[in-house]
Structures are given as C-alpha cells and as structure tokens.
C-alpha cells in the first residue's frame, strides 16, 4: 500500500484567477481542499493612516482607489460620515445624482464581476460583451468628473458639479468614420441624461444577452450549482453582507432597510436567492443590474424635471463659485481657507454605511475637532467575505476555489486598503 | 430607524446590563463602553437574547487615542507676534522614528481601544461597543472569535496595525503588513513614512530593505477650531471697527 500525503500548494499572488494579488496556501488531499490560508495585504497602502495626515477633502480620492471597480460608492460612505459629523445635508438634486451614480457604479461593478467570473470558469465571451457596456458607463463617469474611474466626484455637502449639458462624442478616426461614426454617436447628440435615457432603455436587452450565455448554460451550471453553499446562519456569523447574504435568502439591503440619499423614494425590488450557492448569487447579481437600471431611469426622469443647486451654500464647507471668488473678498477668503486649511469637523464619532455593490461598505470616522480626521476606519465587505474562505471551501475541489473567489467578487484594493 | 426603537435600545441595554455598560446615544447612534473583562459575557448575551439578536458583527477596529485633541496651530489667541507658519508640529506624519512622540512613561489606560460595530438584522438596528485596554504597554482584549467567527480577520488586522492582543484568538498573525514587518504602523507614534523601504538591488540580484530615505513632509498643520462660525460672529460683534 502506497503512502499518500497531503500536499501544500501555493496559489497566486500572480494568477489570472486571483483577481489581483490574492495568495492562497492550500493544503490538498489529491484534488480536495483540506485547508486554505489566504494571505492578503499585498496591496496594503495604509489609506486609513494617510487620511489622518490630510484635510478631510483630500482623502476623497483615496476612497476611489479602495474598491476600484465601485468607486463612487466608496466615496459616498466617506462623504456621508463627514456630513453626519458636520450636521449638513446635501441638496435634493445632489442626492438624486448620488443615487443615480451609485447605481451606475453598481452596474459597472456587476459587469466587471460577471465578465471576470465567467472568464475564471471558462466562459470567454461574456467579458467582451460586459466591457462593451462598461465602456459606455465609464464615458458617463468621464463626462461628469473628467476621470473614467477615479472620479473624486462626491463632496461633503453635495457633488463637485452639476451634470454636463453635452455628452462627449467620438471623433472621426481611421477606425470610425461616416455611417459607423454616426451610429456610435447616435445616443450622444443630447445631454448626459439623454444618453443615460437611451442607455437604460437598451440595457435590459443587453442583460438578456449575458443571461443567454450563462443562465441555462450547462457548463456554467455544472460549475456553480451547489458550489460554495452558504447557509443564512453561516453568512451572518461571518459578517457577510450584500449579494453574499441575499444569495442565502436573507432579505437585507441597506437601500431598503436603512435608506440613504434618495433610495426611500425609489421603486425597486431586492432579489434574494434560495440555496445560497454560487449560481443563486449569480442570479441575484444579474437581477440587481436590472433593478439598478430601473433606479437610474427614475433618477433621470427626476433630474430632468428639477434643476437646482448640487452643493450646499455653506462656504465654511463648500467652496464658493469661481466667478464669485473673483469679485468678492469674503468669497476669496473662504476659498483660500478651504483649500489651504480645510474645514474643521466637530468632535465626535460616527459609522456610516452604504450598500456598495459588494456589500456593506462602511466608514467609521472619529474627529477630535480638527481639520484632519483623527481616525478613519473603512469597513470593506470583501475583507469580511474572504475571511470565510477556509470554512466554505473545505471539502471542495480545487477548481471550486476559483468559482468561490469569483462569487465573493473580490477586489484587493478594498480588502487590503 | 425610528426614535422610539432607538431610545428603547439604550433603555433595554441599561435595564439588562446595568452598570456594566456606559451608554451614550448621539445622533441616533448608540455606543456602549465596557470593561474588557465583561466583553465575552455581554457579547454572547447581545447575540443570543431575543431583545437584542445582534447576529452580525460588522466591524472591529482599533483606535489609538494618543494625541487626541492636540493641535499644531494655535488660532485662538492671535498676539502681537502673529501667526506661526504652522510647520513645526508633531502631529501625524510630521516625525520620523527617531523623533517620534514618546509618552512620559506612565501608563495611559485610555490610549488603545477596540471598537466593534454590531448589526441586528432581525431588529434592524446597530450598536457600537468600545473596550479600552487597561495597559498601554501590553494592550489586551478578549477575543470574540467564539461568539462571531467572522471577527477573526478583524482581530488579526487590529493586532497587526495597533498591537492589541486578542486573548484566546486561534491564529493571531499579522495580516496586512509585509512578511517580517516590525512594529504596529497605525499607532500614533509610528511615523507615516515608515522605517524601511524596499528596492531591487541589481548588484546583489535580490530585493533589499534599507532605512527610509524620504523626509517626513506634511504641508497642512493640524488645527482645531471650535465653532469657528460662532467665534467669528462673536468677535465681529465685539469689534467696533465698523462704527469707527
């Protein structure tokens, strides 16, 4: 009789299925996982410590770089925490803009997720389709903030600026000209809201396309049905939130249960899973894309009808307009103080959370009354999810680990912070 | 969240735990401070008792209260000397390891704290617990891994970054910092620039660690202005320059 020993295997940190810089030390019994020890922190940048040395507003840009596929949702949590301590509230139009961009971000994130998860499990085509729509939404990011990913668009007291009147167009190039150019620019003739209107009218049919590739696909179901089953009890013990929790059938969504921005006024549904396996979480996220689409449409409709300010008129927090600054001494002083020293936030502490695409993204903020935060802690959903890896994949096959990494929807910017 | 629910949480906690908890409610957020020795018993009760049912531990993080409320730029008393340029401070990011702020050697029992955010899905409410470590040279807090297993990595992170030891944790290793890292980087007396830097040395053909070569550089002084609006309004009211 031959002696069989367990094998210790290293996975990552450079591996296409590791979604960045995950390193796994796996103890294997043949193809079966006996124990997994994830090593994280390879992307640790000390964001929380850096934020302590800068005025509040200068750290908004760091938030984009945490979960770098759901940028504005991270900003939202941080900005909400500051607003809570300051005791200010963004104007209604800014709240609608935030709601709309949170949902655009959710679609961006889920498109990235569906593409990369399918790629991990051997379906090559989906990512090509997903990135087609991601491109359009990144153009929206660019139109509103000037940056395609790291927007730094939300500010305490509102958003940086109002929505643009003109959507950017493709220019003529050797690859796009004539009728072709006209076709790709056909949505872009009007304002950004017109573009979003056209996009959202079309997007459900695009989701149908992804579903056609996957939902009834035999290989996809073999790789996901019954894999990585998370019971509702287990999900709560391990601090899971978002689709990981809803996939297990727990009806919990901060947008419904503890509404912020304008979610209380929105008409949308929360999908929940039944079995808590990778396939159910897939279905939940696909349905979330459709629901986000609905929310965006409602916001577009409201934003078209209701112009107004997008920033509070409190010059101790928000800078005065450029024109005003050139003419008024008072405004010039405010501008100077804001951009050199920043504003002081009253002493206190708060925890503000948003329903980010991956789960509950929270910001625990402690201020001692200074112009810099005393302590910022960012609660990343991926960090809590990944910690349950060992418990869930024990007894699964090696290939299922990859399915599990995909279904966690991990991004190491937020796990490592 | 309604107010009645909230007041009832603070009330319920006070009724159930009495003097064990020091409860404050600010802006609808309930915070309970407790001693490390009571943590496990209180946490278990909060998780299991039907009135609380905090089924999820959302977050656990450390806080280092060293230098809380310290300012580098005194703005309240403008004297004949005028403002300083605010560049000589000692706050976060402005010192290296040799120049780090050192305490007076006395134990600061309220320096390190572990802050826990709980969530009750059943009752849709949140609670924050704060546990101060009695000894700042060896901060210890009992581990909650047997109450909520999901706290495991959060405790590892807090140990890594703040050096708070979680008594009873099954696997208290560093998690976010580099393999072989020395020190606890989020402590307020740890320099923002760090102590070592890494580069590839083409001669030795390997990655080497060297002492940091950069200078600490923070341009904006840390300032505290209490109710700046109010103070300014008061000063303007007292000032009669408009009449002169």
At B62, list the tokens. Answer: 């450390």
At B120, list the tokens. Answer: 């009750």
Reported as a single tens digit per residue, the pLDDT across A379-391 is: 999 999 999 999 9
Helix or strand holding residue A363 (H, E):
strand A359-367
Q: Are A273 and A284 in contact (CB under 8 A)?
A: yes
Nearest chain A Cα to B122, which residue?
A: A252
Query: Taking the CB of residue B242, how many other CB atoms lie within 10 A of it?
Result: 6
Q: What is the pLDDT of residue B242?
A: 45
What 8-state DSSP symbol labels residue A338? Answer: H
Q: What is the pLDDT of residue B243?
A: 47
Q: Are A236 and A337 in contact (CB under 8 A)?
A: no
Kindly report which listed range (A6-15, A278-287, A319-328, B134-143) carries the lowest average pLDDT score: A6-15
Alpha-carbon distance of B177 to A322, in angstroms, equals: 43
Nearest chain A Cα to B113, which residue?
A: A375
Find chain A residues with C-beta within 8 A of B57's C-beta.
Answer: 239
Q: What is the pLDDT of residue A313?
A: 83
Q: What is the pLDDT of residue A300?
A: 93
Q: What is the pLDDT of residue B119?
A: 92
Alpha-carbon distance of A305 to A301, in angstroms, equals: 7
**Contact between A49 and B178 using a beta-carbon 8 Å cutoff:** no
Q: Can you give chain B as a three-state secondary structure string?
A: CCHHHHHHHHHHHHHHHHHHCEEEEECCEEEEEECHHHHHHHHHHHHHCCCCCCCEEEEEEEEECCCCCCCCCCCCCCCCCCCCCCCCCCCCCCCCCCCCCCCCCCCCCCCEEEEEEEEECCCCEEEEEEEECCCCCCCEEECCCCCCHHHHHHHHHHHHHHCCEEECCCCCCCCCCCCCCCCCCCCCCCCCCCCEEEEEECCCCEEEEEECCCCCCCCCCCCECCCHHHHHHHHHHHCCCCCC
Q: Please, what is the average pLDDT of chain A?
A: 90
Q: What is the pLDDT of residue B200?
A: 93
Beta strand A32-39 with A23-29 is antiparallel
Kindly report which listed range (A161-165, A286-290, A367-371, B239-243) carries the lowest average pLDDT score: B239-243
Comparing B1 with B226, which gets the higher pLDDT?
A: B226
Reported as a single tens digit per residue, the pLDDT across B91-138 is: 777 878 777 877 666 767 788 999 999 999 988 899 999 999 888 888
A contact test, residue of B145, B175, B227, B228 with most A CBs within 10 A: B175
Q: Is the pLDDT of residue A287 over 90?
A: yes
Reported as a single tens digit per residue, the pLDDT across A54-96 is: 999 999 999 999 988 999 999 999 999 999 988 888 999 999 9
Instruction: Note whether A237 contacts B: Cβ–Cβ < 8 A.
Output: yes
Confidence of residue B28 (pLDDT cuts 50, 70, 90): confident
Cα angle for residues A216, A222, A226 (degrees, 5° grid):
105
Query: Mapping DSSP to helix (H, G, I), strand (E, B) and coil, where does residue A351 land?
Result: strand
Beta strand B125-132 with B29-34 is parallel
Mean per-residue pLDDT, B129-156: 91
Q: What is the pLDDT of residue A296?
A: 93
**Greatest CA separation for chain B:** 76
Q: What is the pLDDT of residue B1?
A: 46
Mean per-residue pLDDT, A156-181: 88
Q: What is the pLDDT of residue B84?
A: 65
Mean per-residue pLDDT, A9-30: 84
Nearest chain B Cα to A41, which residue?
A: B176
A contact test, residue of B121, B196, B216 with most A CBs within 10 A: B121
pTM of the predicted model, to two decimals? 0.89
Alpha-carbon distance of B96 to B100, in angstroms, equals: 6
B contact test, residue of A234, A346, A387, A391 with most B CBs within 10 A: A387
Q: Please, what is the average pLDDT of chain B?
A: 82
From residue A92, alpha-carbon distances to A73, A156, B164, B199 in Å are 18, 14, 43, 50
Nearest chain B Cα to A346, which residue?
A: B226
Q: What is the pLDDT of residue B154?
A: 93
Q: What is the pLDDT of residue B21?
A: 86
């Amino acid at each position: 009789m031959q002696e069989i020993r367990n094998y210790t295997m290293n996975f990552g940190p450079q591996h296409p299925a590791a979604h960045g810089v995950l390193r796994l030390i796996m103890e294997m019994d043949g193809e079966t996982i006996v124990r997994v020890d994830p090593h994280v922190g390879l992307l640790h940048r000390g964001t929380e410590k850096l934020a302590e040395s800068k005025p509040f507003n200068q750290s908004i840009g760091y938030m984009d770089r945490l979960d770098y596929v759901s940028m504005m949702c991270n900003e939202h949590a941080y900005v909400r925490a500051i607003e809570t301590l300051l005791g200010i509230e963004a104007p209604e139009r800014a709240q609608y803009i935030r709601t709309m961009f949170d949902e655009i971000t959710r679609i961006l994130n889920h498109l990235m997720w569906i593409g990369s998860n399918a790629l991990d499990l051997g379906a090559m085509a989906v990512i090509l389709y997903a990135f087609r729509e991601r491109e359009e939404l990144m153009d929206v990011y660019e139109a509103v903030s000037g940056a395609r990913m790291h927007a730094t668009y939300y500010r305490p007291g509102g958003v940086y600026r109002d929505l643009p009147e003109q959507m950017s167009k493709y220019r003529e190039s050797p690859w796009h000209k004539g009728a072709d150019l006209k076709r790709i620019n056909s949505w872009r003739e009007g304002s950004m809201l017109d573009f979003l209107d056209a996009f959202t009218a079309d997007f459900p049919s695009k989701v149908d396309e992804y579903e056609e590739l996957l939902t009834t696909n035999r290989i996809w179901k073999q790789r996901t049905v019954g894999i990585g089953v998370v019971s509702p009890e287990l999900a709560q013990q391990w601090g899971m939130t978002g689709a990981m929790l809803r996939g297990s059938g727990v009806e919990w969504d901060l947008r419904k249960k503890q509404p912020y921005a304008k979610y209380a006024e929105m008409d949308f549904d929360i999908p929940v899973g039944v079995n808590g396996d990778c396939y159910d979480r897939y279905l939940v996220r696909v349905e979330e894309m459709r629901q986000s689409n609905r929310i965006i449409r409602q916001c577009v409709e409201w934003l078209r009808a209701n112009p107004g300010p997008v920033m509070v008129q409190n010059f101790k927090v928000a800078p005065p307009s450029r024109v005003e600054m050139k003419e008024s001494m008072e405004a010039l002083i405010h501008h100077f103080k804001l951009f050199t020293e920043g504003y002081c936030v009253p002493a206190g502490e708060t925890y503000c959370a948003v329903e980010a695409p991956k789960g509950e993204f929270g910001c625990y903020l402690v201020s001692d009354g200074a112009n810099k935060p005393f302590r910022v802690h960012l609660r990343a959903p991926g960090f809590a999810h990944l910690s349950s890896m060992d418990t869930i994949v024990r007894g699964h096959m090696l290939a299922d680990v990859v399915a599990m990494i995909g279904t966690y929807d991990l991004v190491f910017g937020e796990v490592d912070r | 969240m309604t107010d009645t629910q909230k007041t009832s949480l603070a009330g319920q906690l006070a009724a159930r735990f009495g003097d064990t908890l020091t409860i404050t409610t600010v802006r609808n957020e309930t915070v309970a401070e407790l001693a490390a020795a009571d943590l496990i018993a209180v946490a278990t009760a909060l998780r299991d008792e039907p009135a609380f049912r905090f089924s999820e531990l959302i977050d656990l993080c450390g806080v280092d209260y060293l230098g809380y409320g310290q300012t580098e730029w005194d703005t309240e008393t403008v004297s004949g000397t005028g403002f300083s340029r605010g560049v000589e401070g000692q706050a976060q990011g402005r010192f290296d390891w040799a120049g780090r702020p050192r305490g007076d050697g006395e134990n600061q029992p309220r320096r390190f704290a572990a802050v826990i955010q709980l969530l009750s899905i059943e009752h849709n409410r949140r609670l924050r617990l704060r546990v101060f470590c009695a000894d700042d040279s060896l901060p210890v807090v009992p581990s909650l891994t047997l109450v909520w297993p999901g706290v495991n990595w959060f405790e590892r992170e807090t140990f890594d970054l703040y050096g708070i030891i979680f008594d009873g944790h099954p696997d208290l290793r560093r998690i976010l910092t580099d393999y072989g890292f020395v020190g606890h980087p989020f402590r307020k007396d740890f320099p923002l620039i760090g102590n070592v830097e890494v580069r590839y040395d083409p001669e030795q053909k390997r990655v080497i660690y060297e002492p940091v070569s950069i200078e600490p550089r923070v341009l904006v002084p840390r300032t505290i202005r209490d109710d700046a609006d109010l103070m300014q309004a008061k000063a303007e009211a007292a000032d009669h320059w408009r009449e002169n």
